[in-house]
Chain A
Amino acid sequence: MNIPTSNKKELKNVTSQVFKASRRDFLKMGGLLAGGFVLGVNFFGCNEKGEKITSIAPNVYLQITSTGEVIIITHRSEMGQGIRTSLPLIVADELGAEWSKVRIVQAEGDEKKYGSQNTDGSFSVRMFYKPMREAGAIAKLLFMQAAAKQWQVPVAECDTAAGKVVHRRSGKSIEFGKLVTTAQTLPIPNVKDIKLKERQQFTMIGKATPIVDLHDIVSGTAVFGIDTVVENMKIAVIKRCPVLGGKVKSYNDKETLAVPGVLKVIPIKGGDIPPTIEKPLSGVAVIAENTWAAIKGRDLLDVTWDLGEHATYDSAQQLEELSKEILKKGTIRRNRGDFDRAKVEAKKVIEHTYIAPYLAHGTIEPPNALAVVKNGKCEVWAPTQHPQGARDAVANALGMPADEVKVNITLLGGGFGRKSKPDFIVEAALLAQESGLPIKVQWTREDDLHHDFFHALSVQRITATIDQNNQISGWNHHIAYPSISATFDTSVLQPADGELGQGASDFPYDVPAVKVETHDAKAHLRIGWLRSVRNIPQVFAIATMLDELAEARGLDPVKQALELLGDDRAITFDDEIVDGKYGNYGEDISVYPWETGRMKKVIEKVAQEANWGRKLPAGSGLGFAAHKSFLTYVACIVEVKVGPDNKISIPHVHYAVDCGTAVNIDRIKSQFEGGAQFSASIALKSEITVKEGAVVQNNFDSYQIVRMPEAPQQIHVHIIESEDKPTGVGEPPVPPFTPALCNAIYAATGKRIYKLPIDLKG
């Protein structure tokens, strides 16, 4: 998700330049060996005006040791998407490295060295594919030059493969490690002189590479945030105000302090409105020798709260209010043609309201962070998607320069957007400063579900018109939900352009009149971004309405989608967006255009692979939805079976995806498999509700996630062969699955779904 916050500066049109790093530069980094030599790779970026940014920061380091070991520093956070594997394999492929001799070292959070490390928005591969290739190719040329010098042969006759330079004509070969000494004496080649591999020369890109942490994970030795330990570390568990903006009035810690192992009780100031993503909530922390003592101590804390302005908030009531609000005229955000006239002249008007609940991230590793504050410095270990955001937030909270804060990134036990917010890291830092002890803050599951940055509830109304010629003549989409921006600025009451640009304002279909209107919706919780963000509710409404329209027109929904996309062309939205701009996920639309041809191709592919149109027995059905998000084109067909007891099972899911050049086929597939399951939870299970200002659900017994027996049973992922620029796959699988399932349920039962999670009994 691209959220305009002050600390989010993304570079565009990234290109690279390699240099020899000084010893001082890299010795500080844990994991690198002494000796060998290190290449630092600069990623030059351009700002939004296309001007080159002059402050050059090395973003990736590559070390080749005299034993031939290739060490690649990876600067993105790993949360299950496979990025610790996929980016290094790009470097290794171009270099011609032997993968078994490649070791991955996780970079700390350091903007000067690595540029922005914010790992969200499905952009790591998209942004770093080319620079990673260039880095590998420059190192390759350097080794070829070193070998050519040693062998007294032309460089052009050399190549690399499996960690060696080879001279084809003579059959000679030499390992990289043995060339290190010579290579160190040579100037670094210019990026203009390199020759990138041809597609057919790839040894790893476009193939399936297992993740680098595989063995550690299955043997229980992989280190997540929760597993980090430092000497004399104490555990803090915090009782936070159940209502947003509420504050501690008073507390009694007598019983808490009597629990063996409890050391201290420290109140935390907080509870500001707007909450932002970095400020702590108001609460009382229990510091103990171990987690259990801290949890027990917290249970016995007696806190009196000043609950504040949200104390009477009720989410069911807000849904009711918003359902009335969207019947009114809203703020027009996109306008094409004359919808009102289309409505007057329509032969048929279809109108429905769509409702979706709050969702919590529910990463199985709950938020946690370890902080040590000593001698005016702070060191943090945390499962964070955004180490620099964390560093700045900690520096701010502790009143120290950002340079004095070091953030070490562990593996993340799930992220989904939750762990790009640094609030929990700030809590640890504040408590470490206040107590003078190394503190690990541990959130319990209850804390996580009560105090998340929630995916906002939403109410939408779509009115669509069919004209005398059976064409869709008008599309009016009303939208109401609390904006993520309200977490930073409470005066924001309507969705931001970036939120609407996730399916709603970039409605791509060739309908003569399109009007998108938004309405006020106040935020009463901390609102955040969750995997694929606003695409989820918006595409649920859009793609189920399209299915209903196809039925009303007597058309096949797949054929309708192909027709509505029209001729192969690049479409833009800016001319029709009112007082705003289409974000295109932060990319220039001339570089990453919206191409109807690519969308049609994934639709045709999925229809063919799923054998769309085939007859199914009574109680079974196929449903279709297609959606582009995060610049990746996806079409989805779900097969559903609904039992007489309304039990829903999902025998097959078919996805077709065009994500440009496929980097690691296996991880693309795994993201789609997981994306379908993630979306299945949204469609079938998950719902956060709020009463008297506080979240009702406490744990996974009431906030439900799909489990194996109800999970989609087979997921088939069809990847379109492409040489286009690669785009991300972390989020794009999620949006189309839910509406495809809803449409399949309609095909199976004749029942339309207008509210999530799906309840066939209701």
Chain B
Amino acid sequence: MATTNLKINGKEYSVDVDPSTPLLWVLRDHLNLVGTKYGCGVAACGACVVHLEGEAVRSCVTKINRAAGKEVVTIEGLSEHGDHPLQKAWEQVDVPQCGYCQSGQIMSAAVLLREIPNPTDEDIDLAMTGNICRCGTYLRIREAIHLAAEIQTKLK
């Protein structure tokens, strides 16, 4: 066990955990930030995507010591009122079915939109290929990302 200092969604935390613990389980079990989901544990499904220093990472394979002292953003911190352009677009398109994978989908899409403000279908496919949706909402996800790009452009 070791004390690790974390900065998540702008707030400081200190946790005393085994340094090999994946960030995912620290978020879920120790900090009750349960918007980030467990799906596979091997970086194969994308349900657990969070931002580490602005990059999309699979928190299920990101050991906690890698996150120490760095900026972590989870779905709970993506926007203050759940009104990030992606979240707005997701609502407008009524993307989710069961909804379980959607936090990870949105977090992956957020990095894409920052890097490529007006992504093509191919850009979206490439950025989202690591996120599985078993309900099959892929087409609405793609549509919502395009819509979010428009919303984001208007805000600028």
Nearest-neighbour CB distance to chain A for B137, whole angstroms, equals 7
Q: Are B97 and A80 in contact (CB under 8 A)?
A: yes
A218-226, A308-316, A386-394: which one contacts chain B? Answer: A218-226
Q: Are A674 and B128 in contact (CB under 8 A)?
A: no
Tell me if A193 counts as interface (CB < 8 A to partner B). Answer: no
- 1/0 per residue, CB under 8 A from B, across A644-672: the answer is 00000000000000000000001000110
Expressed in whole angstroms, the Cα–Cα distance for A488 and B135 within the complex equals 29
Tell me if B102 counts as interface (CB < 8 A to partner A). Answer: yes
**Which of chain A's residues have a CB closer than 8 A to the CB of B18?**
260-261, 292-293, 296
Given A364-B37, A711-B139, A218:B97 Cβ within 8 A: no
Expressed in whole angstroms, the Cα–Cα distance for A415 and B98 within the complex equals 9
Tell me if B39 counts as interface (CB < 8 A to partner A). Answer: yes
Q: Which of B28, B96, B125 contacts A211 (CB 8 A)?
A: B96
Q: Are B132 and A220 in contact (CB under 8 A)?
A: no
Q: Are B98 and A411 in contact (CB under 8 A)?
A: yes
Expressed in whole angstroms, the Cα–Cα distance for A217 and B102 within the complex equals 7
- 1/0 per residue, CB under 8 A from B, across A701-720: the answer is 10001111101111100000
Expressed in whole angstroms, the Cα–Cα distance for A699 and B39 within the complex equals 10
Tell me if B34 counts as interface (CB < 8 A to partner A). Answer: yes
Tell me if A365 counts as interface (CB < 8 A to partner B). Answer: yes
Q: Are A224 and B100 in contact (CB under 8 A)?
A: yes
**Which of chain A's residues have a CB closer than 8 A to the CB of B5?**
none
Q: Are B141 and A676 in contact (CB under 8 A)?
A: no
Q: Are B142 and A708 in contact (CB under 8 A)?
A: yes
- 1/0 per residue, CB under 8 A from B, across A11-43: the answer is 000000000000000000000000000000000
Closest to A698 in B: B42
Tell me if B40 counts as interface (CB < 8 A to partner A). Answer: yes
Tell me if B136 counts as interface (CB < 8 A to partner A). Answer: yes
Q: Are A364 and B90 in contact (CB under 8 A)?
A: no
Nearest-neighbour CB distance to chain B for A253, whole angstroms, equals 18
Q: Are A226 and B37 in contact (CB under 8 A)?
A: yes
Q: Are A677 and B136 in contact (CB under 8 A)?
A: yes
Nearest-neighbour CB distance to chain B for A337, whole angstroms, equals 41
Tell me if A362 counts as interface (CB < 8 A to partner B). Answer: yes
Expressed in whole angstroms, the Cα–Cα distance for A356 and B26 within the complex equals 41
Tell me if B149 counts as interface (CB < 8 A to partner A). Answer: no
**Which of chain B's residues have a CB closer than 8 A to the CB of A699?**
40-42, 44
Q: Are B30 and A670 in contact (CB under 8 A)?
A: no
Chain B facing A: main interface SS: loop
Tell me if B115 counts as interface (CB < 8 A to partner A). Answer: no
Q: Which of B22, B106, B124, B135 contacts A674 (CB 8 A)?
A: B135
Tell me if A595 counts as interface (CB < 8 A to partner B). Answer: no
**Which of chain B's residues have a CB closer than 8 A to the CB of A73?**
none
**Which of chain B's residues have a CB closer than 8 A to the CB of A701?**
42, 44
**Which of chain A's residues have a CB closer than 8 A to the CB of B101?**
364, 413
Q: Are B99 and A80 in contact (CB under 8 A)?
A: yes
Closest to B98 in A: A80
Q: Which of A210, A219, A708, A715 contacts B94 (CB 8 A)?
A: A210
Closest to A445 in B: B40
**Which of chain A's residues have a CB closer than 8 A to the CB of B56?**
none
Q: Are A80 and B91 in contact (CB under 8 A)?
A: no
Nearest-neighbour CB distance to chain A for B38, whole angstroms, equals 7
Expressed in whole angstroms, the Cα–Cα distance for A714 and B76 within the complex equals 31
Q: Which of B100, B102, B132 contacts A705 (CB 8 A)?
A: B132
For window 409-429 of A, CB contacts with B under 8 Å fall at: 411-416
| Number of interface residues, chain A, beta carbon within 8 A | 68
Closest to A221 in B: B35
Q: Are A235 and B29 in contact (CB under 8 A)?
A: yes
Centre residue among B91, B96, B137 by max chain A CB count within 10 A: B96
Q: Are B103 and A220 in contact (CB under 8 A)?
A: yes
- 1/0 per residue, CB under 8 A from B, across A521-565: the answer is 000000000000000000000000000000000000000000000
Q: Are B136 and A673 in contact (CB under 8 A)?
A: yes
Expressed in whole angstroms, the Cα–Cα distance for A699 and B137 within the complex equals 21
Q: Which of A214, A224, A444, A708 contacts B41 (CB 8 A)?
A: A444
Nearest-neighbour CB distance to chain B for A78, whole angstroms, equals 8
**Which of chain B's residues have a CB closer than 8 A to the CB of A82?**
97
Given A364-B132, A413-B100, A673:B25 Cβ within 8 A: no
Expressed in whole angstroms, the Cα–Cα distance for A709 and B129 within the complex equals 6
Expressed in whole angstroms, the Cα–Cα distance for A218 and B35 within the complex equals 9
Nearest-neighbour CB distance to chain B for A697, whole angstroms, equals 11
Closest to A363 in B: B134
**Which of chain A's residues have a CB closer than 8 A to the CB of B91?**
210, 214-215, 218
Closest to A709 in B: B125
Nearest-neighbour CB distance to chain B for A360, whole angstroms, equals 11
Centre residue among A79, A208, A218, A412 by max chain B CB count within 10 A: A218
**Which of chain A's residues have a CB closer than 8 A to the CB of B75?**
219-220
Expressed in whole angstroms, the Cα–Cα distance for A527 and B82 within the complex equals 42
Q: Are B90 and A218 in contact (CB under 8 A)?
A: yes
**Which of chain A's residues have a CB closer than 8 A to the CB of B99?**
80, 213, 217, 222, 411, 413
Nearest-neighbour CB distance to chain B for A3, whole angstroms, equals 22
- 1/0 per residue, CB under 8 A from B, across A724-760: the answer is 0000000000000000000000000000000000000
Q: Interface on B for A, CB 8 Å cutoff?
A: 1, 17-18, 20-22, 25, 28-30, 32, 34-42, 44-45, 47, 74-76, 78-79, 81-82, 87, 90-91, 94-103, 106, 124-126, 128-142
Q: Interface on A for B, CB 8 Å cutoff?
A: 78-82, 208, 210-211, 213-215, 217-222, 224, 226-227, 229, 235, 260-261, 290-293, 295-296, 362-366, 411-416, 442, 444-446, 666, 670-671, 673-678, 680, 699-701, 705-709, 711-715
23 A-B residue pairs with Cβ-Cβ distance under 8 Å, sorted by A, are A80-B96, A213-B96, A215-B82, A217-B96, A218-B91, A224-B100, A226-B34, A291-B29, A364-B100, A364-B101, A411-B98, A444-B41, A445-B40, A670-B97, A670-B137, A675-B136, A699-B40, A701-B44, A707-B128, A708-B124, A708-B128, A711-B138, A711-B139
Given contacts A219-B75, A220-B36, A701-B44, 10 further A-B contacts (CB under 8 A): A214-B94, A218-B102, A219-B81, A260-B1, A291-B25, A364-B101, A414-B98, A414-B100, A414-B135, A700-B40
Closest 8 CB pairs of A and B: A220-B35, A677-B136, A413-B100, A219-B82, A80-B98, A80-B97, A220-B75, A217-B99
